[in-house]
């Protein structure tokens, strides 16, 4: 076999392996790195985050709030394990849910199923159904491998910008500076930010369905995101934001709500 043909065949094999679909939404994804690599990165970052929180004395390991976070998180993780589209994805995951003392109204997740909630969020998500809306959203980020996808996008964009820098070395310095600045802006507003908003909207959808299957009322998501939006009244326009606007988010939730309500009613009938 000649080298050009074999190289082409290898590239096609890589593309076929790297092209996959997000669970529940079916959105096409390009993920050249195996999930095991992402999960290892997530595990290392998790150890560092927990060590820092423990050293600062902000890791909450006991009490009703910490227990609530663990209970809700595990219920949603179990829903992911049950669902035919996500059960296989969870096999390499080490689910863990912790509470961290902080005024931040936020939560986050890492590849591999590890997630943290800040106590500030519990002042906004005032019941388990609302907390499940957030935690389902974070579990969805992990299941859909958004971190790996984001890593790939940044690498591709950086490679493109590096190539542009090399190819424009002979240009007039002012023109070159303007070109590179324009390419950087286009990359940010035309590639990275739209993908970030796509990830957030997708996490809303997947998270809503999983939390409903765990037995949590999906209508609480509407209450929760309205309250969250009220806390972010000064956020930038959607075009320049990493998150969809309140209008977009609520419209997307309304579209998926009938399906989520059916899932929730079935879960309730089965005792969840």
Whole-structure pTM value: 0.81
Q: pLDDT digits over 36-56, tens only? A: 999 999 999 999 999 999 999
Name the active-site residue from 38, 130, 138, 202. Answer: 138
Domain ranges of the chain: 20-127, 146-269
Distances (CA, A) of 97 to 20, 109, 121, 174: 27, 9, 14, 51
d(CA 190, CA 195): 9
Q: Say which range, 7-16, 57-66, 145-154, 180-189, has the weakest mean pLDDT.
A: 7-16
The token pair at 131 is 């907390």
Q: Are 208 and 262 in contact (CB under 8 A)?
A: no
Helix, strand counts (H, E) of the chain: 10, 6
Q: Name the DSSP letter for residue 74.
A: H
The yes-or-no answer on residue 52 being catalytic is no
Across the chain, what does the average pLDDT equal? Answer: 84
In the predicted structure, residue 32 carries a pLDDT above the cut 60:
yes
């Amino acid at each position: 076999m000649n080298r050009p043909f074999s190289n082409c065949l290898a590239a096609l094999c890589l593309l076929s392996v790297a092209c996959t679909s997000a669970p529940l939404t079916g959105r096409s994804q390009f993920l050249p790195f195996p999930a095991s690599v992402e999960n290892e990165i997530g595990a290392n970052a998790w150890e560092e985050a927990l060590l820092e929180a423990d050293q600062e004395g902000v890791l909450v390991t006991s009490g009703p709030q910490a227990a609530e976070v663990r209970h809700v998180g595990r219920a949603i993780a179990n829903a992911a394990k049950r669902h035919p589209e996500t059960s296989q994805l969870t096999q390499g995951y080490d689910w863990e849910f912790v509470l961290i003392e902080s005024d931040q109204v936020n939560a986050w997740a890492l590849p591999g199923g590890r997630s943290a909630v800040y106590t500030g969020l519990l002042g906004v998500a005032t019941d388990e159904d609302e907390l499940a809306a957030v935690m389902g959203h974070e579990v969805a980020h992990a299941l859909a491998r958004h971190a790996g996808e984001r890593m790939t996008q940044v690498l591709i964009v950086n490679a493109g910008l590096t190539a542009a820098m090399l190819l424009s070395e002979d240009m007039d310095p002012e023109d070159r500076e303007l070109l590179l600045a324009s390419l950087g802006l286009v990359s940010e507003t035309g590639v990275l930010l739209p993908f970030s908003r796509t990830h957030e909207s997708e996490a809303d959808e997947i998270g809503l369905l999983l939390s409903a299957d765990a037995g949590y009322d999906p209508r609480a998501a509407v209450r929760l995101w309205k309250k969250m939006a009220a806390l972010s009244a000064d956020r930038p326009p959607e075009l320049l934001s990493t998150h969809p606007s309140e209008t977009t988010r609520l419209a997307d939730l309304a579209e998926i709500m009938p399906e989520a309500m059916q899932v929730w009613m079935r879960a309730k009938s089965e005792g969840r």
